[in-house]
Structure 1
Amino acid sequence: MFFSDHHTKFTKRINAPLQAVLDVLRDPHAMMGLSPLIISVTVDPQDSTKYAVVDRLAMPFGTTRTISYGATIVVTDEGMEAESKAGAGTTTRSRYVARAISEGETEVEEEVHVNAFFLLLPFIKGVLASAHILSLDRLAAKVEGLNSCKRPAGYLYLYTLVLSLRKQMNTLLVLPTVLALVVVYWMAKRSSADPYGEFHLAFNKLPGEDAPRTEWLNMGYWKVPLALKLLRAAGCKPGGRVLDVGHGSGESLILLLTHPDVPRPAHLTGITSLESHYTRSQARVARLTQPVPVDLHAGDAIYRAGSRTHPLDPSSEQPKFDTILALDCAYHFKPRAEFLRQAYHRLNPGGSLALADICFAPGALETRWTRFVTTILGLMPAENMISTDEYVAQMREIGFRDVKLEDITEDVFPGFVSFLATRGVGWRIFSKAFTIFWGSGGRFVVVYGRVSA
């Protein structure tokens, strides 16, 4: 009589074929690895359907608790079924079913039944909703092959937020700040798994224009185009082989091929995570009348085993690059450090890597508040949250020489925030939340490193 039942469903539409989704659903280790709660999984050596699982739960007042439990997972034709028995007599049964909606689109439905002690059920329902929605988001990102950071389970840490706010500001400012961050998190939940889409086209329109003249997708330097600032830092030379990583819908490619102040490369390669950006970039570059060979790719910025014709494939027989560029995107890469290592090994002797990137002021990450705000904004995976000093040290440890880091925060964030504030109510709220991030120690930098000649 003291135990209650709870039943709920979660659905997610994924832009991928049914078989690709089923391949992940039928891989228990892969599926459990998508959970924001699970920190350890061990399979029973005598029964491959049984697992020992360890969760880390966020508790009230900023504390955490680790719990261990057993789970049984059975693969089915439609997906998989799981049952777990945790502490206090809590039993959870989940059933995942994947259905093809069209040739390239799949819907995943997760049906969950929970039986738990009635006093614990409200807490369990809250954790269940946030964790399972986040897991499906991560499933979509994994299957779609996008270079996206894992979405934050922000409201799992609401208690932490309030306590941190009280330490950071006047109590009267707590409520509007919480509301701003909650709205930003809600906007992130409604967006695609990839951090970008085609919203930037509207941002590039001038008043009265029907179509944008440019398609920049970065925060902007607000003195000269940020891409030019980056190219000057890279020290590009005429006739080099250039790789542009995360080029969006192609504006930086066009700048490399046409701008009178940019040394013309002998060969240009590009890679972007969104298929729509790849297609758009191909069409835009094809319209140019220039003799430079251009080789574009759609996929993750980081080479993964099994990737075909990836520009950072260490076994590639293609010539190495003289310059690799990453304009306002590397903080998304999971992890950034692996991208830096791969870039280093695909550069010619004397070649250079230049990034316009986000990191943190020294000491900023020592506060839980800064980490929380960054998580709510969904800017980067936790492993990419490093200070300016750590960034330079990481580059040097990988092997880069003449490493330089220029902090251009004051020439980027103020202009970016002011611009967002003019683009409507939703973006005005986002600009306020981004101001909080800026004030918490977020820094925008240009980073350069060279491979020894």
Structure 2
Amino acid sequence: MFFSDHHTKFTKRIHAPPQAVLDVLRDPHAMMGLSPLIISVTVDPQDSTKYTVIDRLAMPFGTTRMISYGATIVVTAEGMDAESKAGAGTTTRSRYVARAISERETEVEEQVHVTAFFLLLPFIKGVIASAHNLTLDRLAAKAEGSCKRPAGYLYLDTLVLFLRKQMNLLSVLPAVLALIAVYWMAKRSSADPYGDFHLALNKLPGEDTPRTEWLNMGYWKVPLALKLLQAAGCKPGGRVLDVGHGSGESLILLLTHPDVPRPAHLTGITSLESHYTRSQARVARLNQTVPVDLYAGDAIYRPGSRNHPIDPSSEQPKFDTILALDCAYHFQPRAEFLRQAYDRLNPGGSIALADICFAPGALQTRWTRFVTMILRLGLMPAENMISTDEYLAQMRQVGFIDVQLEDITEDVFPKFISFLATQGVGWWIFSRVFNIFWGSGARFVLVSALLRH
């Protein structure tokens, strides 16, 4: 008598062939990775249909709570059936069905049935409404991103359908606030977009002082910097340039991590004087023997800059590896940085960037053009808004060989967005920014290349 049932339904029209949508629906790990709540999934080694799932829930008054529960997922001809049993007797059953509208359009319907303690049901209904709508939006982005869209395809209908379905101020407000937040940051054009805000984001629950000071979106499997170093193919005893190192966490990793080949010389560039000073102090405390030279200034050499690491006329020894971790999309312009980096690499040297570009065809849509029009006011120069194909072509045009691009979006954006959404109202707004950005075709990539011997 104390338990109540709740039935609801969510639908999403996706501009992708039915098979592309089914490929995602029938991949339980991929589907759970799209959820803004799920932070960990473990499959039962004895039964591949059973999983242990950990959610991070945003609770009232800005607090968060981790919950663990069991789930059973069965792939069907039409999509997927899922059942989970959480605490307090809560049971949730979801059925995903994909229906073909045309050869290039699919409608996905999710039917949800929840049984829960009657006092908890209003909270659970709110969580389901926001999380499941966002999951379907990400499903659409993933399926559409796997298909080459025709030139000029209208992405604006995604926003129209969203507004039409929600039809209330609270649901429209996130997108509006997100665009206002981006515009506000862009108007602060005289200020660097970074400061010391990342220190709070690095704190673990209960910590007063963060143990690390990472300033990137994260790979969410291993540190993104390690993934970048792997792509660069760093070798022991090389001369390494770390561009955009923030307050020094990537420098420390290069100097201390047991799995990282130790460089013979390390140089760093950061744009903020406060980050430069903090990095110097943190590196000095290591008491290590590798020479380290740090430079405060723009990543790109400008005439008049003194002792800039990638000054094409520099008489200093060239580098064996150049790294740019989650920063090159800010460079004005990135293409000039690539040209200067090419001139400052030793023959056979490598460059690796963790960067943002766009899916092929995404920048031709009206909705994406609207979003990027705001972004390029200050967050990303228009010249840097290129597709993955254009990025590869640009690297080859500079002269690099063996150019590789790995799309790691699904291991970066979803968890980064979910994490931001739990860090208070301000960060929740920015999580909406990144969700819009992702839905507009933005891709997080690892790009690596070599200089010919």
Give me the TM-score of the superposition, normalised by structure 2.
0.62
Q: Distance in 2 between matches of 1:200 and 1:189?
A: 21
Distance 1:321 1:187, change over 3 A: closer
Letter matched to residue 447 of structure 1: V
Answer whether contact 1:274 1:299 (CA < 8 A) is retained: yes
Question: Aligned with 1:290: secondary structure?
Answer: coil
Distance 1:258 1:167, change over 3 A: closer
- Other-structure match for 1:380: 380
Matched, 1:308 2:306: yes
> Residue by residue, what CA displacement relative to the aligned partner does 1:85-121 show, whole Å, maximum 9, x if unpaired?
xxxxxxxxxxxxxxxxxxxxxxxxxxxxxxxxxxxxx
Question: Aligned with 1:232: secondary structure?
Answer: helix
Q: In the alignment, which of 169, 179, 186 is matched to residue 160 of structure 2?
A: 169
User: How far is 1:182 from its partner?
Assistant: 1.9
Q: Distance in 1 between matches of 2:304 and 2:444?
A: 34
What is the 5 A alignment of 1:8-407? Answer: 165=156, 168-170=159-161, 171-172=163-164, 175-176=172-173, 177-186=175-184, 189=187, 193-377=191-375, 378-407=378-407
Q: Greater shift after overlay, 187-196 or 405-414?
A: 187-196
Q: Distance in 2 between matches of 1:342 and 1:187?
A: 28
Distance 1:228 1:415, change over 3 A: same
User: Cα RMSD over matched residues?
Assistant: 1.8
Distance 1:285 1:266, change over 3 A: same
- Other-structure match for 1:116: none
Q: What are the ranges of 5 or more consecutive residues in structure 2 without an aligned counterpart? A: 1-153
* Larger RCO, structure (CA 8 Å, separation 6 or more): 2
Give me the TM-score of the superposition, normalised by structure 1.
0.62
Q: Distance in 1 between matches of 2:176 and 2:156?
A: 9
What is the 5 A alignment of 1:400-419? Answer: 400-419=400-419
Letter matched to residue 240 of structure 1: G
Distance 1:423 1:375, change over 3 A: farther
Q: Distance in 1 between matches of 2:227 and 2:446?
A: 8
Q: Distance in 2 between matches of 1:180 and 1:342?
A: 35
Q: Distance in 1 between matches of 2:430 and 2:189?
A: 14
> Residue by residue, what CA displacement relative to the aligned partner does 1:224-265 show, whole Å, maximum 9, x if unpaired?
000000000000000000000000000000000000000000
Q: Distance in 2 between matches of 1:299 and 1:168?
A: 40
Answer whether contact 2:185 2:193 (CA < 8 A) is retained: no
- Other-structure match for 2:121: none
Distance 1:445 1:243, change over 3 A: same
Answer whether contact 2:247 2:278 (CA < 8 A) is retained: yes
User: How far is 1:181 from its partner?
Assistant: 1.6
Distance 1:308 1:348, change over 3 A: same
User: How far is 1:180 from its partner?
Assistant: 3.1
Q: Distance in 2 between matches of 1:284 and 1:167?
A: 46
Q: Distance in 1 between matches of 2:418 and 2:365?
A: 27
Q: Distance in 2 between matches of 1:302 and 1:190?
A: 21
User: How far is 1:442 from its partner?
Assistant: 0.2
Answer whether contact 1:184 1:429 (CA < 8 A) is retained: no
Q: Distance in 2 between matches of 1:413 and 1:164?
A: 20
Letter matched to residue 369 of structure 1: W
Answer whether contact 2:359 2:388 (CA < 8 A) is retained: yes
Distance 1:379 1:319, change over 3 A: same
Q: What are the ranges of 5 or more consecutive residues in structure 1 without an aligned counterpart? A: 1-162
Q: Distance in 2 between matches of 1:198 and 1:251?
A: 13
Letter matched to residue 325 of structure 1: L
Percent of paired sites with the same residue? 83
